[in-house]
Structure 1
Amino acid sequence: MKKYFVFLLGTISVLLSLHGCNSIYTNEHLKNEYERVLKFFDSTLVNHFPKKLPDKCSFSTNVALAKIDYEKESGFSSFYADLRKKYSNKRYSKIKNIFISSSKAVYDANSEKLLLIFSYNNDMEINGEKYTNLESLKRRKLAKLNLIATSFPIPLFEIDQFKSNTFSGLPEDFKIYVLEAKPGKYLEDKYLRDCVCLPEKWKHGFSKGVAMSDKRHVIIYWVTVW
């Protein structure tokens, strides 16, 4: 198990990544951790994830943030989890057909109409002194595009394993399937932050789905709640 702690001007982002899910060390510990993370979310938000942690997969989450005093943290961030798994051709096709039949929308990885959920903290005040334009130019552009986006919300995928310069962050051979997305509060208020990077309708909410690549036979299961 690897833990990455990133500190940026007082904003804490904790990413827990589980790689090589069939390694000797990870077998029981990571399977238990995976189940614990899924239980953090309402069961209806993660019922598309595998019930048990599969072999030979990668899993990431920032649910570890819930263990610290998140109420004192600044900046906007969602709580998320994603699992990446490569399947055999036959197994991939079977799972793909199930998700296609139950999806509410499908998007290209590089669509400019995507409403993206990502951590954002462009302005901050520390000891009475104000700091602005803290985010990158690209992130500020995405925040503005969000206000006119027409899609259901999806995560901005920031996965090293599949990094790309597309709008979604995934390579163009991936298709993104939204299984469900609704506005509203699905976490305790202490975990929620307002964000200028989101339209009023989607001030808070959740989105869940999968991203699938026919080329790679890879499925990325994801959920994000903000």
Structure 2
Amino acid sequence: MKKIIFFIFILVIHSSCSNEDEFWFLDEDNDYSRVKTIFKNYIDFFPKYNQATKEIVTWSLDKETEFNLKVIFSFSQKEFKKLLKTVKKKSIANYSPTDKCLLVLNRFDTHENYGSPSSSEIKNELIDLPCYNHLYPIPNFSVFSDYYSDKTTCKLKKDFSIYVLDAKHGIFLNNNEITEGKYMPANWKNGLAKGIAINKKKRTAVYWIIIW
């Protein structure tokens, strides 16, 4: 009986630790619990704590624009090879930052105006183009200074490859958190997408989730 109780106790501890480890890359702050609540069902593709090294973490919980989580990880050569193999197998689309047509959430945000583009920066003719019909949404990466480029639509340097793992139309936020779907075509007014942007030269990857 004691052995059974001890075994159950170990399982409870292991389960508790596993749940906490899902967000091992986050530092606690005022939004920590809210970030966990919003993104907990969507980070199953993120690396475990022993598979990568966290470099940079950013998120936005802004109902005016979007909810996003972006984390840059670096990898050993062995783990990076595994990542490349997995992402090529599971991705539903692969884009280059230099592609002429990309469906970018909040496309008018820049490193200078992040979140608040002026009226002169908003080009309505770019909100709904025919070439978007066969594309999945990807993030605006303007928050990453070291990887920022004002020469690409998604504001990410050209030496990355952007993989989309999942993208869905619809509402994935509580009613009081639904965003306005600014600057998106009608069929993508609300939705969710997640994926990984990979830099092979530096063995780094941006894991991202966007909900709007």
TM-score (norm. length: structure 2): 0.72
CA distance in 1, matches of 2:125, 2:48: 37
Match for residue 126 of structure 2 among 126, 134, 145: 145
Q: Unaligned 5+ residue runs, structure 2? A: 1-23, 110-116
Between 87-96 and 210-219, the greater mean CA deviation after superposition: 87-96
Q: 1:120 touches 1:135 (CA, 8 Å); kept in 2? A: no
Q: 2:164 touches 2:193 (CA, 8 Å); kept in 1? A: yes
Between 205-214 and 47-56, the greater mean CA deviation after superposition: 47-56
Residue aligning to 2:169: 183
Q: CA deviation at 1:166?
A: 0.9
TM-score (norm. length: structure 1): 0.68
**Residue 49 and residue 120 in structure 1: after superposition, are their counterparts in 2 closer, same or farther (change >3 A)?**
same
Instruction: Give secondary structure in 2 for the equivalent of 1:96.
Output: helix
Q: 2:107 touches 2:183 (CA, 8 Å); kept in 1? A: no
Tell me the C-alpha RMSD between the 2 structures: 2.8
1:113 aligns with 2:113: no
**Residue 106 and residue 193 in structure 1: after superposition, are their counterparts in 2 closer, same or farther (change >3 A)?**
same
CA distance in 2, matches of 1:199, 1:56: 34
Instruction: Give secondary structure in 1 for the equivalent of 2:95.
Output: strand
Q: Unaligned 5+ residue runs, structure 1? A: 1-27, 71-75, 122-132
1:162 aligns with 2:150: no
Aligned pairs, how many? 174
Paired-residue identity, %: 27
- Which whole-Å deviations, capped at 9, do the CAs of 1:29-78 have from their partners, x for residues lacking one? 945569742432251x2211235495442111123x5xxxx6xxxxx411
Of the two, which has the highest radius of gyration? 2
For 2:148, the aligned partner's letter is K
Residue aligning to 1:218: 204
Q: CA deviation at 1:210?
A: 0.2
Q: 2:65 touches 2:182 (CA, 8 Å); kept in 1? A: no
Residue aligning to 1:99: 87
Match for residue 58 of structure 1 among 56, 59, 64: 56
Q: CA deviation at 1:112?
A: 2.3
**Residue 213 and residue 119 in structure 1: after superposition, are their counterparts in 2 closer, same or farther (change >3 A)?**
closer
CA distance in 1, matches of 2:32, 2:46: 10
**Residue 87 and residue 190 in structure 1: after superposition, are their counterparts in 2 closer, same or farther (change >3 A)?**
same
Q: 1:116 touches 1:146 (CA, 8 Å); kept in 2? A: no
